[in-house]
A and B are shown apart, each in its own frame.
Chain A
Amino acid sequence: MTIVQKILARATGQSSVAVGDIVEPRVDLAMSHENAALVINQFREIYKGTGREPIVWDPERIAIIFDHRVPAESSKTATNQKRIREFVAAQGIGKFHDMRGDQGGICHQILPENGYVRPGQVVVGTDSHTTSHGALGAFAFGIGATEMAAVWALGCVFNVEVPATMKVVVRGVLPEGVAPKDIILNLIGRVSAEGANFKVIEFHGDAIRSMDTSGRLTICNMAVEAGATSGIVPADEETVRYLREVAGVTGELDVVTPDPDAAYSEVVEIDASSLVPQIACPHTVDHVKAITDVAGTRVDQVVIGSCTNGRLDDLAVAARLVKGHRLASHVRMLVFPASWRIYKEAMQRGYLSDLIDAGATVMNPGCGCCLGVHQGALGDGEVALSTTNRNFKGRMGNPTAEVYLCSPAVAAASAITGVITDPRG
């Protein structure tokens, strides 16, 4: 069996499941952000007329993280957040992370760094980039708010069709100036935005094995941009190291790995050693080109950070490249660390100073800019170069603007020159 088959078999109390089987796996972790406001509404709807009190199935397995609109951009959001806080208190939700420097950040960073996600778990989130958590060997996928309301009520996901699995094997050593982001952009360009729709992507190969959890999170984060239900990296020594040393997890870990004879719907091979920096061009994530094809394109706003590329290693790369330089005079640069813990570490190591001295604006951790809510909307006809994960028309708040996606190294090098620039020199 593949990893997802093994996880679903266990989560349904069966010895095996086959692709296409309809199962109802129990949920280990159910994550929401500000859209918990809608989940709460739908949760109450389920109980209407039943004569039962709406009480969640397990408050310790529910996580709610404020990240999409922090600080609140409108009174409407502030009121939604207020209602969620009241619900969290009333239901005793255990894993609540408010907008606070001592606990906050972007959900896809908060879950891993607090040790909430473990290998072998079933994780659902009302966010499409919940695929990120496959980086720790979990089966993690995005669902809608009503689906989550049903999870809150009954603790399982209804009617899940066991997905087929695409095996992606990444071999070789990434050249200097080429990053995990370039691997996943290359894959999306090759298989297309729907190439893995309804499938899980399992990542293998020595380039994945030797990659740290930060890089694996970047890759699994964007698996959904190929349409995948989830991306999964089989848990290994690095997973255990991350969970013990970074996330502070103690106790036994249940590492699930695929069987040697697991059946895959297809196998895609990537030679990491021959990759060059990749750019996803407007307005689809699978419109991917080698940097050499788009170098020289003028940019107005550079964004570094987010759940995709806002970790310490990402900020280190950006700080190193801009240190001692100034942003091009027409460029503005926004930096969004993925969590306040990362923010503080980046501050202590001097990365934020280097970025600020170069002219960057360091923002609080959050998603607002990436999805065009606030904190960095684009003007008419402007061009953004961003380490985030989506470039759809209107994504950064303006349907006449354009968004290009890239690695932190490309973004930082380009911020200095003011045009898309190859960081390899």
Chain B
Amino acid sequence: MATVVLKLGNDISTDHIYPGRYMATVLPTETPQFAFADMAEFNAMLRSGAVSPGSVIVAGQNFGCGSSREQAASTLKGYDLVIVAKGFARIFLQNSANLGLRTVISPDLEASEGDELELLDDAIVNRTTGQRASVIPLPKARQAIIDAGGLIAYARQRLLA
């Protein structure tokens, strides 16, 4: 069971997730401190450790649009968040697969902050409302990388192949 800790709308950009002014910070070990830095309350909640790993951010269409900055994925991976959106922008989705950030595409999920979700392979069940929402498989091009545990591991395999 996973709790929805934040609900967002459409077109959440990488500037929103990880503001450009923090881009000099690059290492995945250091980026989590600036997750949603302009949303001071949520950022403080993350940094305080109040959000447990596996918690869910629910968003609308085109999540992660904008920049190719990988910090937008590594900052969320740092808290082991799961992003459930109606749709994702291409580069963000690829960066997420590459870094092992879990993303789920569900066009019809209805959820509010505080709801408890059960994330199944082919569906999401909202245990708070009873809704069973569909899940669209990720682009198949990414599956081999996800299966390998991320792109570093996948590239290492290929290097030695």
Q: Which residues of A line the B interface, CB within 8 A?
A: 22, 34-35, 37-38, 41-42, 45-50, 52, 68-69, 73-74, 76-77, 80, 125-128, 130, 142-147, 149-150, 153-154, 158-161, 193-194, 197-198, 227, 229, 284, 286, 371-373, 390, 392-395, 397, 399
Contact = CB atoms under 8 A, between A and B. Distances in A.
A49 B73 CA distance: 25
Nearest to A149: B155
B160 A194 contact: no
Nearest to B20: A371
Given A142-B68, A372-B20, A399-B38, A197 B90 contact: yes
Give the most central of B19, B87, B145: most A CB within 10 Å: B19
Contact of B24 (A49, A50, A80): A80
A194 B139 CA distance: 16
Contacts of B68: 125-128, 130, 142-144
A154 to B, nearest CB: 6
Contacts of A392: 13, 15-16, 66
A264 B19 CA distance: 36
Contact of A144 (B73, B140, B144, B159): B73
A46 B156 contact: yes
Contact of B38 (A49, A146, A394): A394
A395 B15 contact: yes
Contacts of A42: 152
B91 A68 contact: no
Given A145-B70, A158-B145, A284-B11, A227 B158 contact: no
Interface residues of B, number: 46
A264 to B, nearest CB: 19
B64 to A, nearest CB: 11
B93 to A, nearest CB: 9
A41 to B, nearest CB: 6
Contacts of A284: 11
A377 to B, nearest CB: 8
Interface string B116-127: 000000000000
Interface of B: 11, 13, 15-16, 19-21, 23-27, 38, 61-62, 65-71, 73, 87, 89-91, 94-95, 98-99, 139-142, 144-145, 150-152, 154-156, 158-160
9 contacts: A50-B156, A68-B23, A127-B67, A128-B91, A144-B98, A154-B158, A194-B62, A197-B62, A395-B20
Given A145-B70, A194-B89, A38 B26 contact: yes
Closest 8 pairs between A and B when the two form their complex, measured CB to CB? A371-B20, A38-B26, A144-B95, A392-B13, A194-B62, A150-B155, A161-B141, A144-B70
Contact of B152 (A45, A142, A197): A45
B155 A394 contact: no
Contacts of A77: 24
A19 B7 CA distance: 34
B144 A159 contact: yes
A150 B157 CA distance: 11
Given A38-B27, A227-B62, 15 more contacts: A35-B69, A128-B67, A128-B68, A142-B91, A143-B94, A144-B94, A150-B151, A197-B90, A198-B90, A284-B11, A371-B15, A371-B67, A372-B15, A393-B13, A397-B21
Contacts of B19: 372, 394, 397
Given A371-B20, A393-B15, A128 B66 contact: yes
A146 B98 contact: yes
Contact of B155 (A126, A144, A153): A153
Contacts of B159: 46-47, 50, 52, 153-154
Given A146-B99, A227-B89, A372-B15, A37 B26 contact: yes
Contact of B16 (A48, A127, A393): A393
Nearest to B99: A146
